Amino acid sequence: MRKLSNFVRSLLIAIGSLSGFVTILWAFFSSSLSSLANKCPWGLLFGLLLVAIIYALYANRSKSKIELGLSDKVKAKIFFGDLFESKEIIVVPVNEYFDTIVDDKIISSNTIHGKFVQKYFGGNEAELKKQIKKELAQYAPLETNSDRKYGNKNKYSLGTVCEIKNGNKVFYLVALTRFNANHRAEVKNSEYLRVLCDLFSYIEQNSQGRKVSIPLIGAGHSGVSLSKQKLLEFLLFSIALKDDLTLINGVNIVLHESIKKEIDLSSTEILFNTIRA
């Protein structure tokens, strides 16, 4: 339904633009156009409609990359790819304990968090823990869970961010999820917005103009109850609505290839271009 709605919207925009163009032409070439219209009125209408349909089909073609001006101070590139191939600062969503144990219980090996630990600190967990401890020293933990048998014991507020380095790579670890009574990671929709606001405030204050690459935060095991399409648009709206946010070099949102069938970038582009128009 959404694709059809976007197609109709694009078609109406094209028809409106063509009508305006024809009106302007008519003011300068009224005699010639009147003669053409009298000889072949249906042919003229069909031609204009065909052009409008071609435009609508082109505007709604499947895309793998788009660029959006989310505000006067923030531009975003959204594309499918491998987050860890990014040369920019990379955002990694983690749990409230900033754990480092990838055992498919505390951290799943299939999550961005798990892949980050294994790819950059596999076999050197001590170094990662050392950096995390140093960075988190500036924050007061929410509580210390002494009864926790495995993983870190200090719990931090959702939205807490710390910077981790590995060679030339820089990562921003952001606390996105908490553990519920069943020991499953989750975050409520209302908390998700606050996490995004805290993250982008941290990026603005600490990135020093360097571009940042962000995954589709909340698309994994976080429990955010939104479709991937709505999640992407929610993320973009969160950036656009933060009036005071300035990211000089913009931001990249890197989408995993596995969710390609669940994301329609053409629809997202049309939506935001319509809003910004």
Q: What is the CA radius of gyration of the chain?
A: 24
Judge if 109 and 149 occupy the same domain.
yes
- Residues facing residue 243 across a β-bridge: none
Q: Are residues 163 and 250 in the same domain?
A: yes
Tokens of 165: 């380095």
Q: For residue 59, is pLDDT > 90?
A: no
Cβ atoms 88, 213 nearer than 8 A? yes
Which residues are CB-neighbours of 215 under 8 A, at least 6 positions away? 83, 91, 92, 93, 112, 253, 254, 255, 256
Provide the token pair at 169: 């790579």
- Beta-strand relationship, 251-255 and 161-166: unpaired
Same domain, 39 and 90: no
Per residue in 211-264, pLDDT (tens digit) is 999 999 988 766 677 889 989 998 998 888 887 788 888 899 999 999 988 898
**Which CATH number fits the domain that encloses residue 116?**
3.40.220.10
Q: Please check whether residues 98 and 44 belong to one and the same domain.
A: no
Tally of CB atoms within 10 A around 274: 12
Tell me the pLDDT band of 266, cut-offs 50, 70 and 90. confident
Question: What pLDDT digit, counting tens, does each position of 115-151 carry?
Answer: 999 999 987 889 999 999 999 999 999 999 888 888 8
- Provide the pLDDT for residue 244: 79
Q: Are the C-beta atoms of 172 and 190 separated by less than 8 Å?
A: no
Q: How many domains does the chain have?
A: 2
Which residues form the domain of 21? Answer: 2-59
Q: Do both 250 and 220 map to the same domain? A: yes
